[in-house]
């Protein structure tokens, strides 16, 4: 009779998704190593408040007993698009800060760093960086047809474009600087990936 909610990556205040990619330990100097540069991984992150609302709605709905719900966000993105966007929001882009993204497969030193981190701090690795997390972040989120989602529990899903700029504000470069209104251009949002383009990634 249990109601099972299976979440994708959950983001929100003090989370383990946005903070993970914002953490200095996740980078190599000012570069971001990702498996296949993050271009072959598709993510559908969900906002924490949407998951919380779904749990409340499920608790009030006797028909939800014994069902499985997929807790995913409203849009799908390549991981590369998301991570680049996060750095634009943090004013740590290529032009201003020197950010770049590269293929982790050709950097054994980063994988060694993750292993050492998990050996030295097995309970709480610094920045949440450990080999299992790296493996998991390279897995594409799959939404199964016929399995209900949070919308079937009456939840109106929050888009990342609405929420993430606020969540990443504390991680901006030179946070002490009081910028003039309009001094920095609004970062362009991440591009969603269409189903046909997603199929090409794994062809």
Q: What is the pLDDT of residue 98?
A: 94
Token digits of residue 180: 């003039």
- The matching CATH number, chosen from 3.40.50.720, 3.30.930.10, 3.40.50.970, 3.90.920.20, for 4-102+140-173 is 3.40.50.720
Token digits of residue 159: 């888009």
Side-chain-facing half-sphere of 63: CA atoms under 13 Å? 4
Report how far residue 167's alpha carbon sits from residue 89's, in angstroms, rounded to the nearest whole number.
10
Q: What is the pLDDT of residue 199?
A: 87
Q: What confidence tens digit (pLDDT) does each residue in 156-198 have?
A: 999 999 999 999 999 999 999 988 988 898 999 999 999 888 9
**pTM strictly above 0.75:** yes
- How do the domains of the chain map onto residue ranges? 4-102+140-173
Q: What confidence tens digit (pLDDT) does each residue in 45-103 have?
A: 999 999 999 999 999 999 999 999 999 999 999 999 999 999 999 999 998 899 999 99
Q: What is the pLDDT of residue 163?
A: 98
Q: What confidence tens digit (pLDDT) does each residue in 116-125 have?
A: 999 999 999 9
């Amino acid at each position: 009779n249990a109601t099972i909610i299976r979440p994708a990556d959950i983001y929100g205040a003090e989370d383990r998704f946005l903070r993970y990619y914002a953490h200095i330990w996740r980078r190599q100097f000012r570069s971001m190593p990702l498996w296949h540069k993050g271009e072959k991984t598709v993510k559908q992150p969900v906002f924490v408040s949407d998951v919380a609302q779904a749990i409340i709605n499920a608790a009030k709905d006797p028909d939800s007993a014994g069902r499985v719900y997929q807790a995913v966000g409203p849009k799908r993105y390549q991981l590369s698009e998301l991570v680049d966007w996060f750095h634009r929001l943090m004013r740590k882009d290529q032009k201003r800060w020197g950010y770049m993204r590269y293929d982790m497969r050709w950097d054994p030193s980063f994988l060694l760093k993750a292993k050492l981190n998990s050996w030295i701090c097995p309970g709480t690795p610094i920045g949440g960086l450990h080999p299992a997390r790296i493996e998991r972040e390279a897995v594409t989120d799959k939404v199964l047809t016929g399995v209900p989602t949070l919308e079937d529990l009456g939840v109106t899903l929050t888009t990342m474009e609405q929420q993430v700029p606020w969540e990443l504000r504390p991680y901006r470069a030179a946070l002490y600087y009081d910028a003039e209104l309009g001094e920095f251009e609004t970062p362009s949002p991440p591009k969603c990936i269409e189903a046909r383009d997603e199929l090409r990634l794994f062809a």
